[in-house]
Structure 1
Amino acid sequence: MDTVAERNDPTPMPPAEEARRARRRRIIRNIVLVIIAIPFLIWLVLFVTKGRFLKGPFESIVGRMTQREVTVGGDFQLYFAPLRIKFYAEKLAISNPGWATRPHLFTAERIDTRIAPLSLLFGKRRLYALDLNRGAADLEWNAAHTTNTWTFSEKKGGKPLDFPRIDVATVRGTTVRYLDPRMRLLADLSIDDIRSEDARIGKAVGLRGTGRVRDTPFRLQARLLSPDATVNRGQNKLALRAWAANNVIDVAGTLPSLAEIEEVPLQTRARGRDLSELLAIIGVAIPQTRDYRLKAQLVKAGNQYRFTRMSGTFGDSDLAGRLTVTNGDRLHLDSVLATKRLDIIDAAPFIGYNPDIVATKGAQAAAAATGSGPRRILPDAALPVATMQRFDADLKWTVQTVRSRNVPISNIDLTLDLDRGRLSLSPFTFAMARGNVASDWLFDTRQRPSFVRYDIRLAPTPMGRLLAGYGVAEAGTSGTIRGRIQLEGRGDTIHDSLATARGRIAFVMPQGTFWTRNVQLSEFDIGTFVQKMFEDRLKEPVGINCGLIGFTVRGGTAAADPILIDTRKNVITGRGGFSFGTEAVDLAIRADSKKFSVFSGQSPVGINGTFADWNLDVISPELIGRAGAGLGLAVAATPVAGILAFIDPGDAKGAACGPVLAGATAQAQRTKKGEARDDVGSGKPGKREEKPKKKKFLGIF
């Protein structure tokens, strides 16, 4: 090209130089023309032929780029029309990787699009128009959850599903299949027909379908409430409802893209007849509940599903807190829950009762429903051993108040740990009648049958309030009680673990008063009873110096070891025991007076029957025998002589309270003079009385 100096130079240019420059200009011109002509020719060829001849190269090139087999079974077009790329294919199919369960990632009877060319190179992808007929997508994760079918490079891992912006869309007969082996989730969905113009659909888009979570089938319906934002790759307001295992689950939220839920808060609600049926869907076992309603905010973060701001009810009880479900190599639940008021019926499932049966028919019917025998109350519902060994859990649960007619319970604090089938409730504490109970429970299903340990400690508790629901007057009762239950057994039910248990049960009563009609009956001093009845002082408190109700448990049978209560007027002792296996009760309680008393029965009061149906037998065979002897004396001698059979000489030996308050066994008990007691038994199953009797304890010994 000529410079300014050359143009101003009057010296003529040599012919050779001028020719060289002219040739240079022609070359540049021709190059520009070729640059312009080649794309035009390509465009012209493609436009005329519709790019049908590119069908083979398209299948080959795209196949290599995606590492998938790409086929077009019908007409194919790929060209500029005029400045937009038109892509048209019939019977298009893109294969899945070899590990997938379906052969194709995507198939379509027909797809017709207009693509913005520069969007393929820069910025977000944009489709000016999309017409999709009978499309089908198969979206799967591999077993290790490291990649998926829509990510074409395994090195990049599993990327979220991304959608382009679509200005005008017509979608008909489209289905989507989603499979996640780690979650054991399969969903087959169909999408309602869509017609959008100018990036606006104008109405909600629905989808519906069925599927399976683990072994539980479900069906669902969902609506995209902001489809206009969806086609513009904006926020997507989604509302979904699913039905599974008698539960209804609602999910609502705003997604950044249609298939992206990571770190997105979703509002969830669930309701149903039994919360255990809901959690059983993901393989988690909890006690049965009555009907429930819960709501929470759900956020998915990697393999964690975090439920926060949880609140709701189950039965007549409330529940709040948080729950995190980690779906790793082993399913793990981590939860912190709080209840303000727990209805005692809703607590029944924690020991194996069906709460609905308890509410309508009582505990005995609920026990029978678990497989227990007639007239029994210990549940025989088996622990879900197989399920307990498939998932792990950590739980912290606090309860302010338990609503109960008989026993006031509050301030429950429970820590639960489940690790590969070993369930520990430790510590498990609560307040009961102004006393505190601390306990540790262990159910180890790794051992077969399960090893079970109970360790329950009762701090000093006022008896008046503790037993107020059973006829004990709180006013006038100043006595307290403390105790401990230590038992170990084997079995996959509460009944079996107790029926094989060994250990000790002991409740200690320090000095105090006890006010109830039944104590007078157990002393059964006829003279005192009649005198107080006429004086209207039948409920005068009984003064207690010390007392011990102890049992030694062997093979599920508890023998009195000892029952010894020292009052101001009497020494009360007991023989016999009960069986966890048969739930039979066979006890004899008698009171011997410390002072001379006329009209004293001096015979034991029997407590017999079963846990569910026990009775107090005041008219004992000994009393009948004494009455017969008195009658004989009255006939043979004088009526006054008949009274001699009912005279108590008052020779009962007071108890040394040291061994009693220490909870010692019968062999360690002493009188106030330090002598070994001979009226409290040996702590082994045997006769209730020292004198031989035909009746055997529990019908066994």
Structure 2
Amino acid sequence: MRRGWKILIWIIGVCLALIVVLLIVIATFDWNRLKPTVNARVSESIGRPFAINGDLSVRWRREERASGIESWVPWPEFVAQNISIGNPEWTDQPHFAQLDALRFRISPLPLIVHRVEIPVLYLTQPSIDLERNAQGQANWDFAFANDGKPSAWTLDLHAIGFDRGHIALNDAISKADLQITMEALQRAIPYGDIVSQQSADAREQASKTVGASAKTALAKDAGTQENEPGHTNAAYQFAWQALGKYQGAPVDGHGKTGGVLALQQTDQPFPIQGDVHIGDTHIALVGTLTDPLHLAALDIRLWFSGSSMAKLYPLIGVTLPDTPQYATEGHLRANLKRGASHFEYDHFRGRVGGSDLQGDLAFDTGGARPKLSGTVKSQLLRFSDLAPLIGADSNAEKEQRGDATPTPSDKVLPVEPFRTDRWRAMDADVNFSAARIVRDTALPINALSTHLVMDNGVLTLNPLGFDFASGKIDSNLRLDGSTTPMKGDIKLKARHLKLKELFPKFAPMQTSFGEINGDAALNARGNSVSELMGTSTGELKLLMNDGAISKALLETAGLNVANIVIVKLFGDKTVKINCAASDLTATNGLYQTQLFVFDTEDATIRVNGTVNFANEKLDLDVRPESKGLRIFSLRSPLYVKGTLKDPDVGVQPGPLILRGGGAVALGVLATPIAALLPLVATSKGEQDNTCATVLEQMRGASKSRPAPLPSKNKAATTH
């Protein structure tokens, strides 16, 4: 037994001696001898030149944050000085990254099971040059070596720490040329302090962009993230600043970040904050990023403000309409994945011009195209703020943007093209409603709602509804921007539009119980209002009862042709209209009157002919039939020639119209009159709609009188 104990003691002693010798060798070993091997192996793995140009050393010490047996075992700490990573041959810069030092510690016990566990990898003064060319080659895409065999070793990196550094970005695709610098703060700043300061700064910027009302709107019911779980322990340790250009616009930004980015601990938030001006667009954010290894948890408060939402497209990739000055604030949550990210802009609120907006939006990048969906509401919408959305902004505003298209001198219809170039860039499914609309008294629209869908360049608004003049306009609109020229379809139904609200400044209409009812169904093709009207095909029916008309009213409405005709017939006086009925058919922009009749106290006026919106030419006959002998001049028919811009209205040559001529012509009216009868509506609690009586009388006359025989002499038939 004594001999056995001696052998055991000798074995233990030899092992201890070997361990001591090994520790001495490791402690005194010149690790710089391994640099050529390390450089070669790393270069081969990443497919780029890699070099440790300074010292490579190892220090041993216990890890204070470890527990159990790991707290007793010394950990090696590797320090590599002056590291460089090369670039591909096509880049302008020789290096992708340069570091003053790289420092990390390895847990020794996991090495037994072939796992390299690194709690924190520290980068000292990193300098990174990011570059992408016009062909889409990016120097941040590494071609890692893969021999097809699974490695026996795994890397377990918990976090990355860094200090002051510099990042340069030169991206030919996004037209970005940025220089970003990072500096350590003199002291760590609590998360809540930065949230409060950024909120105040962003709202102050909003008030400068939109007005003082924007600051109040953004602050109303605004929650902050100071007390949200996971945020209270976050602190900012570094400040950053960015200068340069993006999409040709100057960039000036600054912000703050944390110091250690946790890659695996999803409960450790990395605080981020930014305040960036790109041209006249301001973007501010404050929040946290967790689980950055999978880019799966971005949680920030986000502010936007600027001269038009359309300018956000090159910045965030979301197609938005032209708008007046705007400012919004909301909560952005994101699940970031390459090619399939999901963003939610929750409970946002803001101002667009003089209007308020609020709602929830989501943006998904998966699928064939990105898609925007959600709900947007406005409690108070200023109608003038809608003008740019429908292409109705002023020429001065368009000239300011540099995209105005002047209307030719001989044209009336706008030739300004619709901006459909971005429609195919994304899809959309958004519900929009406005509870109350502030507008000029001459435009009696009170509320609107619509369901907007964009699908591969096809825009539909179905339904598109308005509360208009105490009545209702229900419609659906489809514009196919995927084709050139654009194709358009519209169906519209107008019911119970009150005349006294349509013309609030026209005193004779204020005692009227009259209404307008109408239907329209048109399809067209073209990229402007002029082209769409010039190719439109379909039908238009309109019925008006108990109204009035005058030269002054038509001048105010801008109805130049109608103004001239009324003056020729009645002179400068107000004329009461019992009923006005029209049934028009259109074929490729040529509108033909099936029925166009005005029944007044003094006469019944019938209009026959065409209006060609393709060339804006007029070819109409206006034939009045006097009621009795009170107004002798009304027995002379008129012609309307020329164009919408320059109409020519005069008395038809030839004999005066026979008193029975107008009545005989009623023989051809049976069909269009029958088509208009469904539009006759009774105003409840008021006198009956006079159009019902007038149309029934005309239909009865058409049945009792034979239709005129065809005549080769148009003048004889007309007169």
Q: TM-score, normalised by structure 2?
A: 0.69
Could you say if the C-alpha distance between residues 190 and 54 of structure 1 is closer, same or farther in structure 2, counting changes exceeding 3 Å? same
Q: Name the structure 2 match of 1:309.
A: 347
* Equivalence for 2:465: 429
Partner Cα separation in structure 2 for residue 354 and residue 428 of structure 1: 21
Please give the per-residue CA displacement for 1:266-291, whole angstroms capped at 9, x wherever unaligned.
12222222221222545555442222
Aligned equivalents of 1:567 and 1:457: distance in 2? 26
Q: Residues 149 and 311 from structure 1, CA distance in 2 versus in 1: closer, same or farther, beyond 3 angstroms?
A: farther
Q: Aligned partners of 1:651, 1:379: CA distance in 2, in Å?
A: 37
Q: How does 1:600-679 map to 2 (within 5 A)?
A: 601-604=634-637, 620-621=650-651, 659-660=672-673, 662-663=675-676, 670-672=699-701, 674-675=703-704
1:10 aligned partner: none
Q: Does the CA contact (< 8 Å) of 2:535 and 2:589 recur in 1?
A: yes
Residue identity matched to 1:240? G
SS at match of 2:379: strand
Q: CA–CA distance in 2 between the matches of 1:338 and 1:596?
A: 59
Superposed, 1:336-375 pairs within 5 Å as: 336-355=375-394, 357=396, 369-374=404-409
Deviation at 1:175? 2.4
- Whether the 8 Å contact between 2:48 and 2:88 is mirrored in structure 1 is no
Residue aligning to 1:499: 534
1:219 aligns with 2:198: no
Shift of 1:563: 0.9
1:331 to 370, 390, 396: 370
Distance 1:485 1:604 in 2: 29
Structure 2 letter corresponding to 1:387 = R
Hey, what's the Cα distance between the residues in 2 that align with 1:327 and 1:490?
A: 31
Query: How far apart are the structure 2 equivalents of 1:100 and 1:244?
Result: 26
Pair 1:573 & 2:573 matched: no
Gap change, CA 1:195 and 1:187, over 3 Å in 2:
same
Match of 1:59 among 29, 39, 52: 39
Deviates more, 1:594-603 or 1:491-500: 594-603
Secondary structure of the 1:125 match is strand
Q: 1:575 touches 1:688 (CA, 8 Å); kept in 2? A: no
Give the letter for the 1:306 counterpart. E
Counterpart CA distance in 2 for 1:203 and 1:458 is: 59
Shift of 1:447: 3.9
Q: What is the deviation of 1:598?
A: 6.0
Residues 11-56 of structure 1: per-residue CA shift (max 9 Å, x gap): xxxxxx433332232222222332233223321x22xx3x222223
Give the partner amino acid of 1:54: L
Which residue, out of 282, 291, 302, partners 2:325? 291
For residues 89-488 of structure 1, the aligned pairs below 5 Å read 89-94=80-85, 106-108=97-99, 110-111=100-101, 113=103, 115=105, 125-126=119-120, 132-133=124-125, 135-136=127-128, 164=159, 171-175=163-167, 177=169, 188-194=178-184, 205-209=238-242, 219-224=251-256, 235-256=269-290, 262-282=296-316, 284-302=318-336, 303-328=341-366, 329-355=368-394, 357=396, 369-374=404-409, 376-402=411-437, 403-468=439-504, 471=506, 473-488=508-523
Superposed CA offset, 1:556-585 (max 9, x none): 132322212345653221234433234455
Q: Is the contact between residue 424 and residue 441 of structure 1 (CA under 8 Å) also seen in structure 2? A: yes
Are residues 439 and 119 of structure 1, via their aligned partners in 2, closer, same or farther at CA, if it must alter by over 3 Å? Answer: farther
1:593 corresponds in structure 2 to 626
Q: Quote the residue 2:26 is aligned against.
A: 42
1:290/1:314 contact within 8 Å kept: yes
Q: Quote how far apart the aligned CAs of 1:357 are.
A: 3.3
**Aligned residues: CA RMSD:** 5.3
Instruction: Please state whether the residue corresponding to 2:332 is helix, strand or coil.
Output: strand
Indicate how the Cα distance of structure 1 residues 392 and 415 shifts in structure 2: closer, same or farther if over 3 A, else same.
Answer: same
The one-letter amino acid paired with 1:477 is S
SS at match of 1:56: helix
CA distance in 1, matches of 2:25, 2:19: 10
Instruction: Work out the percentage of aligned pairs sharing the same amino acid.
Output: 18
Q: String of CA shifts for 1:570-611, please: whole Å, max 9, x gaps.
A: 322123443323445565545323334365542357778765
Deviation at 1:408, TM superposition (A): 0.9
Q: SS at 2:273's partner residue? A: strand
Q: Equivalents in 1 of 2:349, 2:418: separation in Å?
A: 28
Indicate how the Cα distance of structure 1 residues 20 and 549 shifts in structure 2: closer, same or farther if over 3 A, else same.
closer
Q: CA deviation at 1:191?
A: 2.5
CA distance in 2, matches of 1:657, 1:461: 26
Q: What is the CA distance between 1:331 and its match in structure 2? A: 2.3
Deviates most, 85-94 or 555-564: 85-94
CA apart distance, 1:176: 5.8
Change (3 A) 1:477 1:293: same
Equivalent-residue separation in structure 2 for 1:198 and 1:405 (angstroms) = 57
Deviation larger for 372-381 or 487-496? 372-381
3-state DSSP of counterpart to 1:595: coil
Q: Distance in 1 between matches of 2:467 and 2:478?
A: 21
SS, match of residue 553 in structure 1:
strand
- Does residue 560 in structure 1 map to residue 589 in structure 2? no
Is the 2:513–2:546 Cα contact (8 Å) retained in structure 1? Answer: yes
> How many residues get paired?
613
| 1:73–1:131 Cα change, 3 Å | closer
Aligned-partner residue type, residue 275 of structure 1: M
Contact residue 246 and residue 277 of structure 1 kept, 8 A: no
Which whole-Å CA distance do the structure 2 matches of 1:120 and 1:272 have between them? 54
From 19, 24, 41, give the equivalent of 2:3: 19
* Partner amino acid, structure 2, of 1:72: A
Name structure 1 gaps, 5 residues minimum.
1-16, 627-644, 693-701
**SS of the residue aligned with 1:477?**
coil
Shift of 1:452: 2.1
Deviations 1:269-323 (A, max 9, x none): 2222222122254555544222222222221123122222222222333322233
Offset, 1:342: 3.4
Helix, strand or coil for the counterpart of 1:379?
A: coil
Rounded Cα–Cα distance in structure 1 between residues aligned with 2:245 and 2:482: 30
Contact 1:593-1:652 at 8 Å conserved across structures: no
1:529-552 CA-to-partner distances (Å, cap 9, x unmatched) read 89xx9xxxx86955x2x5421222
The answer to which of 216-225 and 26-35 deviates more is 216-225
Whether the aligned pair in 2 keeps the contact of 1:93 and 1:106 (CA below 8 Å) is: yes
Q: Structure 1 residues 197, 506: CA separation in 2 closer, same or farther (over 3 Å shift)?
A: closer
What amino acid sits opposite 1:135 in the alignment? S
Structure 2 counterpart SS, 1:192: strand
1-side partners of 2:637 and 2:179: how far apart? 75
Contact 1:246 1:272 in 2 (8 A): yes
Q: Which residue of 2 aligns with 1:33?
A: 17
> Runs of 5+ in structure 2 lacking a partner?
62-73, 191-233, 555-562, 678-694
